[in-house]
A and B are shown apart, each in its own frame.
Chain A
Amino acid sequence: GDSVTQMEGPVTLSEEAFLTINCTYTATGYPSLFWYVQYPGEGLQLLLKATKADDKGSNKGFEATYRKETTSFHLEKGSVQVSDSAVYFCALTTDSWGKLQFGAGTQVVVTP
């Protein structure tokens, strides 16, 4: 079946550091890929998405490129802030009705 694998956390960074969270997937068919973010005590929010190979999703300084050849969708941000502290989830869907398969989540902690 479909699956998503994310790097384990927590990832601890200093403010203004470069962030990378690795995400790889296995899927039948041609998935759409997503990154969601969950701030403490809140639900998940869509951060960015990509629907076909070589697409780059971007939002709030975060970027991720859909790499079909490596089945990856790594999340990056050039300069993190304390407010970026959250749990980040990589997800995919291959179903027409939009069922999401989530990774386990990666907690990111940014210190001043």
Chain B
Amino acid sequence: NAGVTQTPKFQVLKTGQSMTLQCAQDMNHNSMYWYRQDPGMGLRLIYYSASEGTTDKGEVPNGYNVSRLNKREFSLRLESAAPSQTSVYFCASSVSLGQPQHFGDGTRLSIL
């Protein structure tokens, strides 16, 4: 009963370090998404992948890159972490375009 699995759950980085957040779904969903959640701002879309082999920018893509490794996995990379990227990151997936999204439990990332 895994659904969407994110790793790690917590991470502390120093400014300038790099890191990859991992996301995997076992529901055979076509579409996957990365969001960040900041107090008072709801969730904002960073990148999405409509289907395997495609990725597109969302609302706040600067400072991030993504890879849709295969249908199951969608990773988010911070090449040079900045304090402004301190946030909770959520991965989500959906069956197909326009269907409700299923979320992972999040990765809490702090950048000092």
A-side residues, CB < 8 A to B, are 4, 32, 34, 36, 41-46, 49, 89, 93, 95-100, 102-105
Query: How far, in angstroms, from A97 to B45 measured CA to CA in the complex?
Result: 13
User: Measured between alpha carbons, how far is A54 from B40 in the docked complex, in Å?
Assistant: 29
Of the A-B pairs whose beta carbons lie under 8 Å apart in the complex, a sample of 18, sorted by A's number, is A42-B106, A43-B4, A43-B105, A43-B106, A44-B92, A46-B101, A49-B100, A89-B42, A89-B43, A95-B97, A97-B48, A97-B50, A98-B31, A98-B97, A102-B44, A104-B40, A104-B42, A105-B42
Is A98 within 8 A of B103, CB to CB? Answer: no
Proximity string of chain B (83-109) to chain A, C-beta cutoff 8 Å, 1 when within and 0 when not: 000000010101011111111111000
Q: Which residues of B contact A98 (CB under 8 A)?
A: 31, 94, 96-99, 101
In the A-B complex, the 6 residue pairs with the smallest Cβ-Cβ separation, listed nearest first, are A43-B103, A102-B42, A97-B97, A98-B98, A44-B103, A102-B43
Residue-wise interface mask of B (35-47) relative to A, using a CB-CB cutoff of 8 A (1 in contact, 0 not): 0000011111100
Instruction: Beyond the given A49-B100, A89-B42, A100-B43, please list 20 additional residue pairs across the A-B interface where CB-CB is below 8 A.
Output: A32-B98, A36-B103, A41-B105, A43-B90, A43-B103, A44-B103, A46-B100, A46-B102, A93-B98, A95-B97, A97-B98, A98-B31, A98-B94, A99-B58, A100-B101, A102-B42, A102-B43, A102-B44, A104-B40, A104-B41
CB nearest neighbor in A for B88: A43
For residue B104, which residue of chain A has the nearest CB?
A43
Task: Write out the residue numbers on chain A whose beta carbons fall within 8 Å of the beta carbon of B90.
Answer: 43-44
The residue of chain B having its C-beta at the shortest distance from the C-beta of A8 within the complex is B40
- How far is it, in angstroms, between the C-alpha of A105 and the C-alpha of B35 when the chains are bound? 15
Contact A96 B40 (CB under 8 A): no
